Structure 1
Amino acid sequence: MGCICSRETLMINSRKYYVVEHLGEGGFSTVDLIEDSHTGKTYAVKKIICHGEEDQNIAMKEVEYHGLVRHPNIIECIDSVLTDRPNPVLNSTSEVMIVLPYYKGEQTVVLYRRSVHKEYMNPVEMLNMFVHICEGVKAFHEAKPEPLAHRDLKTANILLADDRTPVIMDLGSVAVARVKICGSSEAQQLQDLASERCSMPYRAPELFNVESYCMIDERTDIWSLGCILYAMCYFKSPFDVVYERGDSVALAVISGNISFPESTPFDNEIHELILYMLKVNPMERPYIYSVIEKTHDVLTKLEVKA
């Protein structure tokens, strides 16, 4: 055992934490497991390295969105701090740290059943879980003063609490949901942003090829939910295989051709629910309220059959 005094420490708003281990990193941040020096309770801390004012504003927006959207199915921000100190080693101007609950093993919603052994979820249990995910998404779409979209919903961003409650994490891509695009410059800007922050196998068609004059709204998340439910059934998004082959995900998504395995334990109603969300034309795609209602209808039918 190493001496406790040699452990890396973090001060977040006068509260002292010990760094226990490195948990992972993404394109814009790192995540560490930390321990409260006073209570011994463990948390995750997301560290966002900022290389300028724009980065800092984006990171602080993430903190702001945590405050705007509070829901049992969305990860809670326990504390946050902006450290406004340049770091020449990292070529950074500042750092934002967000303290979050730590979910042991960070088990995602798909790995709840081992995909390696093709252990399918019970359909009723799966749809009950999916309803909880939808309720979390609804909280974004109902945000005040204006609706928000998560923009990076995927199975890796949905963790399971100890009681199997799904929790949506990573608010780094959250944005104002309804965007009016006027001109090719604005279209390219949004397309570049989506390319940077929205995972390809779960990204809505309208974000691959943003039209010069159009309206983008919260239904980008509905497409992602369709991909998530497909993955809950069959362990991968319908476009993961395309991505793994190295083929064009954009072409596959825009074509909207969704196929299901011939051998399946799931009723046709679940496939229809998935297709209900995976409409290529966003104007034909339902809003979250209709998705929740239709999911409840399918659940009722399955429970009657059971």
Structure 2
Amino acid sequence: MDAISDALAVVASCFSCGRRQSLTIDGHTVVVRKRLATGGFSVIDLVEEESTGRLLALKRIACHGSQDEAAALREVDVHKQVRHPNLIELVGHRLLTLRGAQLGPTSELQLLLPYYERGSLAYELERRQQGGNHLSENLLLALFRQVAEALRAMHQAGISHRDVKPHNVLLSDDFSAILMDLGSATTAKVQVCGTNDACRLQDEAAEKSSMPYRAPELFNVDSYCTIDQRTDVWSLGCLMYAMAFYKSPFDVVYERGDSVALAVLSGNIEIPQGSSYSQGLHELMLSMLRVNASERPFIDDILKTVAQLQAAAQNKV
């Protein structure tokens, strides 16, 4: 959710609740300082660790029964399965039972995460757009490579992220890219066997994968097909496009209220005239944005091409 990622990005105004709430999660005692944002299924608070003064982000996911709990805990499982310098770290977690709850949530999953003051890539791109200041090709490739390397670690573990977008990429103090929000992550390779499977996968994508970055095969899932990790490759293509030109090729369609599904399935993507980026970068971008998933490169091939483009860009300096 955009609100959640922005929460890790930009500190919102303080909320007043009298005495500050104190919590202990996996040995980390923290005090809630501010409410950062509220999303559809969770909220984010800015917290301070009492012993160190370190600022952290606390993600609270409301659960309405055991099915919600299992889905929420999947995010914890993914964190345990995949660790990478460019993937957000899980500092700690706990599942809190809300006693006496009848109509509201029955429990709350609390995830303690690093707080990145620089904010999200979406915030950085918005700031640059206002000043007409594009990312240089060197910086674009460096950031993109870090996101792709985090995805490769996930794909090697048999997991797809399924919601790669600028709002889910944070920037560290040294301007490294950190891929976040593993709440949409799922098994990378899925065999669809019948209409029920197709509808279930399509509904899941509609709930968890942002439309302007969602792969074509997730808008209209065939009854008998194989969906693989190249759903993330499509999203990576949209991400690179946004890094170069501030927005996904489908953000404008979404903002107009037109059909994003039709726009995505048409495959009509053009590089803006006057682009200052290399032909090689344009070609890589478009290769990831092929409507037919079988024609898209896998993550290892993408990283090889990025390394070649980085070497070529360095030679021009």
Give 1:221's aligned residue.
232
After superposition, where does 1:166-177 map in structure 2 within 5 Å?
166-177=177-188
* Alignment match of 2:151 (pick from 137, 150, 155): 137
Unmatched 5+ stretches in structure 1: none
1:114 to 1:201, Cα distance in 2 relative to 1, 3 A: same
Give the one of 104, 110, 125 matched to 1:97.
110
1:63: Cα distance to partner? 0.6
Partner residue in 2 for 1:25: 38
8 Å Cα contact 2:192/2:223 also seen in 1: yes
Residue 38 of structure 1 is matched in structure 2 by 51
Alpha-carbon distance, 1:211 to partner: 0.3
Provide the secondary structure at the position in 2 that maps to 1:106. coil
Hey, what does 2:7 align to over in structure 1? none
Partner secondary structure for residue 62 of structure 2: strand
Q: Distance in 2 between matches of 1:186 and 1:285?
A: 24
Q: Write the letter of the residue equivalent to 1:18.
A: V
C-alpha distance in 1, partners of 2:239/2:23? 36
Cα distance in 2 for partners of 1:212, 1:199 equals 22
Q: Does 1:272 align with 2:286?
A: no
* Other structure's SS at 1:194 match: helix
Q: Shift of residue 109 of structure 1?
A: 5.7
* Cα displacement string for residues 229-284 of structure 1 (whole angstroms, at most 9, x for unaligned residues): 00000000000011011110000001111012112211222111100111101111
Structure 1 residue 53, shift from structure 2 partner: 1.0
- Aligned partner (choices 141, 152, 155) of residue 166 of structure 2: 155
CA displacement, residues 148-195 of structure 1 (integer Å, 9 cap, x when unaligned): 000000000000000000000000000011100000011000000000
CA deviations over 1:31-75 (Å, ceiling 9, x no partner): 100011222211001100001111100111101110111000000
Q: Which amino acid aligns with 2:304?
A: E
Q: Distance in 1 between matches of 2:281 and 2:242?
A: 12
Q: Structure 2: 5+ residue runs without aligned partners?
A: 1-16
Change (3 A) 1:61 1:284: same
Determine if contact 1:110/1:232 at 8 Å carries over to the other structure: no
Residue 118 of structure 1 is matched in structure 2 by 132
Q: Which residue in the other structure is 1:9 paired with? A: 22
User: Per the alignment, in what secondary structure is the counterpart of residue 111 of structure 1?
Assistant: helix
CA contact (8 A) 1:49 1:95 kept: yes
Q: How does 1:31-70 map to 2 (within 5 A)?
A: 31-70=44-83
Q: State the one-letter code of the partner of 2:210.
A: S
> Which one of the candidate residues 195, 202, 207 is aligned to 2:218?
207
Tell me how far 1:90 sits from its aligned partner: 6.8
Higher mean C-alpha displacement, 80-89 vs 201-210: 80-89
Alignment identity in percent?
46
1:38 to 1:89, Cα distance in 2 relative to 1, 3 A: farther
Q: Given the two structures, how large is their TM-score scaled by the length of structure 1?
A: 0.94
Q: Residue 13 of structure 1: CA displacement?
A: 3.6
1:283 to 284, 294, 299: 294
C-alpha contact 2:120 2:168 (8 A) present in aligned 1: no
TM-score normalised according to structure 2 size: 0.91
Cα distance in 1 for residues equivalent to 2:305 and 2:122: 21
Change (3 A) 1:217 1:292: same
